[in-house]
Amino acid sequence: MSYPFREIETKWQQIWEQNQSYKTPQPSQRPKSYVLEMFPYPSGKLHMGHVRNYAIGDAIARLKRLQGYDVLHPMGWDAFGLPAENAAIQGGVCPEKWTLENIQEMKKQFKMLSISFDWGHELATCLPDYYGQEQKFFLEFYKRGIAYRRESWVNWDPVDHCVLANEQVISGRGWRSGAIVEKRKLMQWSLKITDYAQELLDDLATLTGWPEKVVKMQENWIGRSEGALINFEIEGHPDALSVFTTRPETLFGAAFCAIAPTHPIADKLAQADSKLLTFIEECQRTPTTEEALSTVEKQGYDTGLKVKHPFIEGATLPVYVANFVLMDYGTGAIFACPAHDERDFDFAQKYNLPIRYVVRPLGEAVEVSGVYTGPGVMVNSGFLDGLDVLSARKRAIEELEALGIGQRQITFRLRDWSVSRQRYWGCPIPIIYCDECGIVPVPEKDLPVKLPMDVTFDQTGNPLEYHPTWKHTTCPSCSAKATRETDTLDTFFESSWYFLRFCDPHAEAPINKEAVEHWMQVDAYIGGIEHAVLHLLYSRFFTKALRDCGYISLNEPFKNLLTQGMVCHNSFKSSDGQWLFPHEVTKLSENQYISTKDGQPVMVGRAEKMSKSKKNVVDPKEMIDTYGVDAVRLFVMSDTPPEKDFEWSDEGLEGAWRYLNRLWRVLQTVAENKDRPGQAEASLALRKVAHQTIEKFAQGYERNGFNKVIAFARELTRSLEEACQEATVTGEALMETAKILIMGLNPLIPHLTSEMWEQINNSSNILEAAWPVADPKLATKSEVTIAVQVNGKMRGSFQTAVDSDQESLLHQAKALVTVQRELEGKSIRKTIVVPNRIVNIVV
């Protein structure tokens, strides 16, 4: 009896769509649950990573509906970005047309997966009814000083021809293009995320539903540092060199100062020094992230400048331009104490600079060699000698303040977010430039500022810049000729507030405050760990900024965060080194694969993230056509916790398919025997297992342990299968157990379970049913399994009554033959008894 998945899946997909089964209900007295997966870029085709991500979110949304919640489960499209422009360049197609066609194609695929989205709440960020709304609050940000324009050094992607935020530079390369990022000075629009640095840091403590590693990543990125700002007097110059340091107590060990290649002083000196200019240009072509600079060879250029030592009369320090100093941290300048910093030590050795130890480890009679960064006592440090490091730090700051050359200061690694992007396919920044009036906001009555559809891509750079008419306008203030801002907003701008718009995507205002008050926070937010810093940090900042602008009264957007792992697959290479798709490879044995094209041996790589470049991808549609939606959904959530990477295998999918067929047959058998007479006592064991499984299901779902829920369901299926073969088990008990099994699996495999619920419940709809509640009398276990160890090694187990006393447990453990064998001729040194769990005997 094979499960007819095509017929059943088609039937239920039509029913759900006709009945609008997933329409968001109006606010009521019922509890609410806002379930949201990070919305996708409309590339035109779903991959297995999408399937896993949205199947996880769908399981949570379906569960909450069954548990009596009003559920908001919306869907939309993160639709601006460079891929659409690249498609326009390569294929000569309008980015809007390409994007909207991709949206329609992916929408069909999502419906094929039966993800329970409310399509009535759909939005696309590339449409004016969305980006026109964000133009309104961009102007509010500008009015309040949150958005501002200035000339600054930026990360420039030479391939994508646009600016990147620091968070978009990965190991010195553009996060999309992979090109080595350069430094350029441009006029940029930025958002003052730094004004919120402390609040962003403090509120991490409230995110108890977030993975600890994500919280730590944000904490490190915000990077709060306490120390001192020191103004070093430059010999022969009226200006001072400002340096922020977290280690002012090591000033007596200072050997040099260094400034970033983009520091204003370096820029000024380079105008008269061609060698310095060449050095700076070389620095700007190398990776500029802290991670990349930690491994790059340290390079410096002696400027000839010297600064006066703040504590040592007559002493001076040379000033270098150094490739490892970042303008984005502190003041863009450092003082270096080589004896107590690895980076400074390497530089000092290379340029023959003095290395003076000023911290001696506790208990050591002599000074150390190499680099010492631990605690200790100050030495060779004048008035600081004898103090511990922390006391010396405090004393050094007091002295700097007394001398009027420094002060205590807190600084952050976080820098303001540059949102200007030199591209066409993005939200136009609603600003006009007038020679007379300067910067003029576009009046709200003239919003949205729409993108022109007749752009061309026959030149490099931003098509809006060389469009013949679009950028030319008149000043709203004086009616003189003026030009529009041709930069568009970073696409992270759109994804930093879409979850608020989802609460009412058709509202006339950018945000329906009443709807947000009802639905927010997002109760379950699902997406990849790669968004831990960029998207999640920006979204938190936007929430706080929009709160301060009066749009909402919310502090944090996401209550619970689930970062799902990647879907992985082995990669394959032919004998001539070409990547092969999995369907182009045949497995002969555990370690032998051949190409289906020529029969030649195939090299098998490790399982890694599915990617088009390595061809280790599996087409979801092909799998669904062969096995059905439920089988694919079941498999991607069956073996691995959702936060872990998941390894795809054809054998695993086959196993999921076999289980669905087994489940189908068992439930059909129950339906045939639902009126079978029997004995209540003979049915009791099955009913106990069923009600205990209700509690297991609840615990599994509460922890997002979908793999455990599936394991519990398999166990209950086995018990139900065995009970069907026992004539003394009543049809009523079979039906009760089947309903519990169906309900427990419905969030994961909705088609088969909906069909069987209808068959055994006289055509009723499972969406109208209530989540089962365990009978305490039946769910309470009367016996438990006790594991027995000898010297920590497993030696057996036994069944006993729940809450048996320790003496009884120890007696039963010693009675086991395997344990007696271990104890023979030995004396017992200690016994460890954990009631209801384990007995460990130490001999």
Distances, alpha carbon 403 to alpha carbons 255, 400, 444, 514, in Å: 21, 5, 53, 56
Supply the pLDDT for residue 511: 96
By CB atoms closer than 10 A (0-12, 13-18, 19+), residue 769 is middle
Q: Counting Cβ atoms within 10 Å, is residue 500 exposed (0-12), middle (13-18) or buried (19+)?
A: buried
Q: State the pLDDT confidence band at 285, using cuts at 50, 70 and 90.
A: confident
pLDDT in tens, 614-669: 887 888 899 999 999 999 999 999 888 889 888 888 889 999 999 999 999 999 99
Contacts of 101 (CB under 8 A, 6+ apart): 44
- Amino acid identity of residue 164, one-letter, is L
Measured in degrees and rounded to the nearest 5, phi and psi for residue 472 equal -90, 125
- Higher-scoring residue by pLDDT: 526, 605: 526
Hey, how many other C-beta atoms are within 10 angstroms of the C-beta on 31? Answer: 12
The pLDDT tens digits for 333-352 are 999 999 999 999 999 999 99
Beta-strand relationship, 32-37 and 70-72: parallel
Where does the pLDDT of residue 291 fall: very low under 50, low under 70, confident under 90, or very high at 90 and above?
Answer: low
Assess contact for 568 and 648: CB atoms under 8 A. Answer: yes
pLDDT band of residue 30 (cuts 50, 70, 90) is very high
pLDDT of residue 364: 59
**H or E stretch covering 635:** helix 629-636
Q: In whole angstroms, what is the distance from residue 350 CA to residue 298 CA?
A: 8
602 pLDDT band, cuts 50/70/90, is confident
* Mean pLDDT for the chain overall: 92
Protein fold of 781-842:
Ubiquitin-like (UB roll) (3.10.20)
H or E stretch at 701: helix 680-702
Q: What is the mean pLDDT of residues 257-268?
A: 94
Q: Which two tokens stand for residue 787?
A: 């594991």
Three-state secondary structure string covering 296-325: CCCCEEEEEEEEECCCCCCCEEEEEEECCC
The DSSP H or E segment spanning 688 is: helix 680-702
Q: Which strands, in side-by-side order, build the sheet including 256-259?
A: 300-308, 316-322, 256-259, 333-336
Closest CA to 63 of 792, 555, 678, 769: 769
Task: Provide mean pLDDT across the span 228-239.
Answer: 93
Tokens, residue 584? 């182009």
Looking at the DSSP bridge assignments, the partners of residue 148 are: 190
Residue with tokens 């129950």: 670
pLDDT given for residue 182 in this prediction: 82
Asked if the model's pLDDT at residue 584 lies above 90, the reply is: no
Q: Which amino acid is at 702?
A: E
Per-residue pLDDT tens over the stretch 494-524: 999 999 999 999 999 999 999 999 999 999 9
CA 636 to CA 295: how far, in whole Å? 39
Please report which confidence band the pLDDT of residue 172 belongs to, taking 50, 70 and 90 as the band edges.
Answer: confident
pLDDT for 748 equals: 97
Q: What is the pLDDT of residues 816-839, one digit of tens each?
A: 999 999 999 899 999 999 988 999
Predicted local confidence at residue 293, as pLDDT: 63
- The answer to whether the CB of 831 falls within 8 A of the CB of 819 is no
Cα angle vertex 500, ends 78, 114, to 5°?
A: 60
Judge contact between 317 and 254, C-beta under 8 A: yes
Widest pairwise Cα distance in the chain = 105
- Beta pairing, strands 603-609 & 567-573: antiparallel
- Tell me the average pLDDT across 230-254: 95
Per-residue pLDDT, 167: 62
Q: What is the pLDDT of residue 656?
A: 95
pLDDT bin (cut points 50, 70, 90) of residue 745 is: very high
Amino acid 269 reads L
pLDDT beyond 90 at 168: no
Instruction: Say how far apart CA 395 and CA 411 lie, in whole Å.
Output: 20
Query: Helix count (H) and strand count (E) of the chain?
Result: 26, 37
Strongest mean pLDDT among 239-253, 766-780, 814-828 = 239-253
Helix (H) / strand (E) containing 563: strand 561-564
Indicate the pLDDT class of residue 160, thresholds 50, 70 and 90. confident
Q: Which helix (H) or strand (E) holds 90?
A: helix 82-91
Write down the pTM of the prediction: 0.87
Q: For the residues 756-760, what does the mean pLDDT come to?
A: 93
Distance CA 439, CA 475 (A): 10
Section 19-46 average pLDDT: 94
In whole angstroms, what is the distance from residue 701 CA to residue 264 CA? 56
Each domain of the chain, given as residue ranges in start order, spans 224-412, 618-778, 781-842
pLDDT at residue 195 tops 70: yes
Q: Phi first, then psi: give them for residue 713, nearest 5 degrees.
A: -65, -40
pLDDT attached to residue 591: 76
Q: What is the pLDDT of residues 478-496, one digit of tens each?
A: 999 999 999 999 999 999 9
Q: Which residues pair with 794 in a beta bridge?
A: 789
- Architecture of the domain delimited by 224-412: Alpha-Beta Complex (3.90)
> Average pLDDT for residues 401-419, to the nearest whole number?
93
Given a cut of 70, whether residue 287 has pLDDT beyond it is no
Q: 577, 653, 570: which is closest to 610 by C-alpha?
A: 570
| CATH of segment(s) 618-778 | 1.10.730.10
